[in-house]
Amino acid sequence: MSLKKTRVFFLKQERQYHEHCCVPMCTSSSKFNGVLSFHGFPRDVQLRKRWLVNIRRDKFTVTAHSKVCSLHFTEEQIIPPKTAVGKRQLQKGAVPVLFQWNDYSIPSPRLSVWDRVSTPEPSAGDEQLMDCTPAADHDYSSVPEPAFLDTAVDKHMQLEEKIDALMKEIQELKLLSTFGIERFAQSDVNIRFYTRFPSYRQFMIFWELVEPSVHRMVRVSRAKAAERMNEAVTSVRPTHMRQSLQPIDELFLFLMYLSVGLKEQDLANRFNIHTSTVSRIITSWTNYLYTLLGSVSIWIDAEIVKAHLPDDFKDFPDTQVIVDCTELKCQTPSSPLLQSEMFSTYKSHCTMKGLIGIAPHGPVTFVSSLYEGSVSDKELFRRSGLADLLTEDMAVMVDKGFLITDCVKCKVYCPPFLKKSSQMPAPSVLLTQKIARLRVHVERVIQRVKENKLFDSVIPLSIAGSINEIFAVACLLSNYQNKHLAKAWVK
Ligand SMILES: [Zn+2]
């Protein structure tokens, strides 16, 4: 093959290869259009970059076949062919500027630039003029539709974020404005303060125990509660007040009443409910917990007590129960004239007395009924029925007032300094000291029940009917509230 023939062959090859425009949305191809010219990318890196930015293909890999059709250049940028068969060339430094997304028109600011280009100064080269075309770099922002869409989407997303933040804020505020257990879920200190449960987790463990049968709770009717409160139920209820609480918040309210000793009016304000509703909740929950917790036998067998006996008791290994008394003040209906809050200081009240038995390792194992305050410790012990549970092989540890030796079959550990015995042998003195030391621990345990602030104040008439149950519930609850009692005891 001669050299001439080879050249013809290559020319044919070249003609067969159809060029395509690589600008997005442009379908120009040399196959169908002989009018258009196709221009390769410039070698100059900066200029090439400006091409890519303008045609919106930043990540595009430029090859020798990558072409941009003449549709994207202004007339001024294209140099007409010098001969009839010659190719059209681009001005030096020309950058594609006309696209479908700008309607193949140059935005107004650039027009002025081209105006300047059309009147070139002889001293400045074309390239320099083209290069200082500032608008070419701003093609992105000069295109109206997609930019507008982008802004709209951005704005939409910003608004959504703002809405999310506000919703979160509203929920937090709602939580703060409504008094309930959920509000204190993150604060064990507050849980301890309001419920006497050591932590939110412990409270929830107790709730899981109670919850399955909550729906079977016998509710005190509104009329009955009103009767108890000795007042007519006000039919007008402020609209902002909540009609009812979630069961878990009712329990929370009940525990607050018991532990913190908050007044019904105070609770009504905190929970945003009527005082009569507070009264109903307290009565219902007292009865419910009394039945539920009371159904579990709390008396512990001697072997189990021995198995858990703390080291402190090694000198009194047969101790089955440690006994103490507590007193409650209860409002009496004897003087209706003085029932109003105005005369609260003159409210008449009676004292009631109950007996609590505790196993050496801490749990409450016996709760008596309440008796009139005038009853002696001995008489209270006799009436409580605890003596029936004690056998000869057991021992009961009592406080100084309990002179019960003659009414039980079992051994009695009692601080003997109040005993009538005139002389005390040396071993007995030691024993006395030991018992006294143990009683400090015991009193600490009993204190936990007594620490329920409700028992510090006069129990109002509205719940006076269930005082016996309230006392029992407080004692039984202490077993659930002081789960680590045994551990603390050993220390
Ligand atoms: Zn094109």
Amino acid 240: pLDDT: 58
Amino acid 418: pLDDT: 41
CA 476 – CA 210 distance, rounded (Å) = 13
Provide the terminal-to-terminal Cα distance of the chain, rounded to the nearest Å.
Answer: 109
Query: Ligand 1 centroid to 67 CA: how many Å?
Result: 8
Q: Which of these, 298, 281, 323, lies nearest to 476 by C-alpha position? A: 298
CA 465 – CA 152 distance, rounded (Å) = 67
Kindly tell me the sign of the dihedral angle through the C-alpha atoms of 387, 389, 392, 394. negative
pLDDT band at 128 (very low <50, low <70, confident <90, very high): very low
Q: Which long-range contacts link 486-489 to residues 24+ away (Cβ below 8 Å)?
A: 486/308, 486/310, 486/361, 486/362, 486/363, 488/362, 489/310, 489/312, 489/360, 489/361, 489/362, 489/441, 489/445
Range list of β-strands (E), 2-117: 38-40, 67-69, 78-79, 89-90
pLDDT in tens, 25-78: 888 887 777 788 899 999 998 999 999 999 988 778 888 888 999 999 998 898
pLDDT in tens, 15-38: 456 788 889 888 888 777 778 889
Over residues 154-159, mean pLDDT = 88
Query: Ligand 1 centroid to 26 CA: how many Å?
Result: 5
pLDDT band at 336 (very low <50, low <70, confident <90, very high): low
Could you tell me the two tokens for 101? Answer: 């997304």
Query: Ligand 1 centroid to 451 CA: how many Å?
Result: 88
Amino acid 327: pLDDT: 84
Amino acid 172: pLDDT: 83
Question: Strand 458-459 relative to strand 319-331: parallel, antiparallel, unpaired?
Answer: parallel
- Cβ atoms of residues 203 and 189 within 8 Å: no
Query: Ligand 1 centroid to 23 CA: how many Å?
Result: 5
Q: Which residues pair with 350 in a beta bridge?
A: 330
DSSP 8-class letter at 422? S
266: helix, strand or coil: helix
Query: Ligand 1 centroid to 371 CA: how many Å?
Result: 103
Cα–Cα distance list, 97 to 68, 79, 264 (Å): 11, 16, 79
Query: Ligand 1 centroid to 100 CA: how many Å?
Result: 9
pLDDT band at 10 (very low <50, low <70, confident <90, very high): very low
What are the domain boundaries of the chain? 16-142, 179-296, 298-491
Query: Ligand 1 centroid to 45 CA: how many Å?
Result: 21
State the DSSP H helix or E strand holding residue 357, giving kind and residue range, or none if neither.
Answer: strand 349-358
Query: Ligand 1 centroid to 354 CA: how many Å?
Result: 99
